[in-house]
A and B are shown apart, each in its own frame.
Chain A
Amino acid sequence: MPSADAETDQESAVDVDVDADADADADVDEAREALLEALTAELGDAVAQTHVVPNRDVWVRVSADAWAETADYLRNRQRFRFFDWLSAVDWLPSPFGRSLEAEVDKVVEDADADGGAAADSEADGPDKYAGGDTRFQVLARVYNLATGIGLNVKADLGDDLTVGTWTGVYPGADWHEREAYEMFGITFAGHPHLRKLYLPGDFEGYPLRKDYPLLARLIKPWPGIVDVEPMPEIEEPEEPAPAPAASTENPEDAS
């Protein structure tokens, strides 16, 4: 063991993790549950739903109105000093389908491309940790270094796709919010200079939205059938090749 102070609950977490995954549901993660209790007590109705994977991770979903307030509470009252990252999720099932069987997965016609209204009920369910009803969610993670607990915070976004900024509490949220702004079109109210981070200023569209097509895939179906001469007398395999070896034809290979 490396020298560690105050890491006792980390170690016990490891022990349980390794050999008790099967009955992990039965475990009670006291530290994380206590944190959620404190959060609920402080924020009240703003806490919509929580989710704990015992001894591993914890999620909390708050209302969009309480988003900035949550950050303030977490940093200044719960000592979540370390800002890890902030991003967003578009829960719309991709209208462009799966990608492997290029022939099957042609572009779905009439894909519902207008934002907000297109949320599909399939996306709901247990696989969405801490739940959520809207198409877009913001998602951030902060750490409490003293206890070693990381917390994932989510919030559902209404149709205006606006949420308060975290930059006042965590200055590091600046770039993360700019990225979410250009990639998802989410507005962070109160951000000092919300402008594009990576993309050129006149770029149109929000690339990480599910209804934004990955043009390289539309032009040339995976795995590059267009420009590869078929080998004689070799049949196409029934299923995608399991070999994880990389294709050498990644069009975006930038190394």
Chain B
Amino acid sequence: MAYIAAQAADARVNIELEAEGMTLNIGPQHPATHGTLRIVLQLDGEQVVDADPIMGYMHRGYEKLAEVRTYPQVTTLINRIDWLGSFANEVPFILAAEQLMDIEAPPRARWIRTLLFELARIANVTLFLGDMGVQLGAVTPVFYAFRDREYILNQIEAATGGRFHPNFDRIGGIKDDLPAGWIADTKLALGEIRDFCDEMEDLLVGNEIFEARTRGIGVIPADVALSYGLSGANVRASGVDWDLRRDSPVGQGGGLAYDEVDWKVWTHTDGDSFARYWIRLQEVREACGIVEQLLDGLPSGPIMAKVPRIIKVPAGEAYVATENPLGEMGYYVISQGGLEPFRVKIRSASFSNMSITPWLLKGTYVPDVITILASLYFILGDIDR
């Protein structure tokens, strides 16, 4: 801990010096930003004096729009928050509605939900694993990532009908049962992803240039990470052993089935860009293990609980968050007993993960800015909502 703090302090020397620097705009269309984010950097030579992210290029006002839609309709919107792992966006909202209605999905639905949730994670993070390489000038990994992600997307499409936006989760269960032959196909796809992870480990993790550009770069001490609300792999890379799949009632039987399988929460003590990459690499492997176990133990039975034809949610308030591919994603739902929510506060992971950038980028050098942004891993739809 102490040496991380020392490193962090080291990296931010000189920020108080008077600088007659230049202003550098990154974005709105820089490939490192996964969308349209603009960051205005004040530079002193090559060193960042001040970083000011400017957002809103993709703000779609989902919190307002959700107020005029029925609960089932809302999932269409929130699919588009983190568009690389869409299914995972639906789950916490549905769970919040179920909590208010006091409905519990049958076991098979919970298992399939968890399955698709983890497949969404794999599809999402796989892209990151390759993309991180391309940010550092290694072009090959990203092609592998796009190629191998397709295996997972095909499985998601086969089960839900949508490659990117499944809109598959329902209050009380899921829309459809799994198609015939899906389990065997998914296992094959998982094999491809495992190979991909090994490839990435060979190509990047052991690579001297990759390590030189990520080790010790963008160090986030655990306490700082927490007070900025960082979550997911970003905070686990700083040594915080916190994973909502394990640490929240929702993951443990209250809607998802993570308590039924054997898996492990990975942490890393360095808190640098390399640690964030490494954690995500392990988490994809872990997700493959989770999916495989869920496939083997899939219980039979109904996929929908008994729900009224017209869904009215009793008055109340509930906050449900899950461990999404990008970090903690939650919905604070206020119902006043109507067909549509009275207020939905969307707590998206990337928004909080990005909010540390003004602090984190200070004192770093321009080439490292891209590394750090890439390693924080955000989706613009998840920031702007």
Contacts and interface: CB of A to CB of B under 8 A. Distances in A.
Contact of B352 (A57, A98, A172, A253): A172
B164 interface: yes
A98 B340 contact: yes
A1 B259 contact: yes
Interface residues of A, number: 72
A197 B65 contact: no
Interface in B173-228: 175, 223-224, 226-228
Contact of B347 (A17, A21, A84, A247): A84
Contacts of B77: 250, 252
Contact of A127 (B223, B316, B347, B355): B316
Nearest to B315: A127
B338 interface: yes
Interface string A1-25: 1111101001101100110010000
Contacts, number: 185
Given A127-B316, A214-B64, A255-B80, A247 B102 contact: no
Contacts of B248: 10, 148
Interface residues of B: mostly helix, strand, loop or mixed? loop
**What is the interface of chain A mostly: helix, strand, loop, or mixed?**
loop
A247 B68 contact: no
Contact of A240 (B259, B328, B336, B339): B339
Given A14-B249, A240-B310, A198 B345 contact: no
A25 to B, nearest CB: 12
Contacts of B83: 255
A171 B73 contact: no
Interface of A: 1-5, 7, 10-11, 13-14, 17-18, 21, 55-57, 59, 75, 81-85, 87, 89-90, 94, 98-100, 123, 125-129, 139, 141, 145, 148, 150, 152, 169-172, 174-176, 183, 197-200, 207-208, 214, 217, 222, 239-240, 242-247, 250, 252-255
Given A152-B317, A207-B61, 5 more contacts: A81-B226, A82-B242, A127-B335, A145-B247, A214-B68
Interface of B: 55-56, 58-61, 63-65, 67-70, 72-73, 75-77, 79-80, 83, 99, 102, 104, 164-165, 167, 170-171, 175, 223-224, 226-230, 240-242, 245-249, 252-254, 258-259, 262-265, 309-311, 315-319, 321, 328, 330, 332, 334-340, 343, 345, 347, 351-352, 355-356, 359, 381, 384
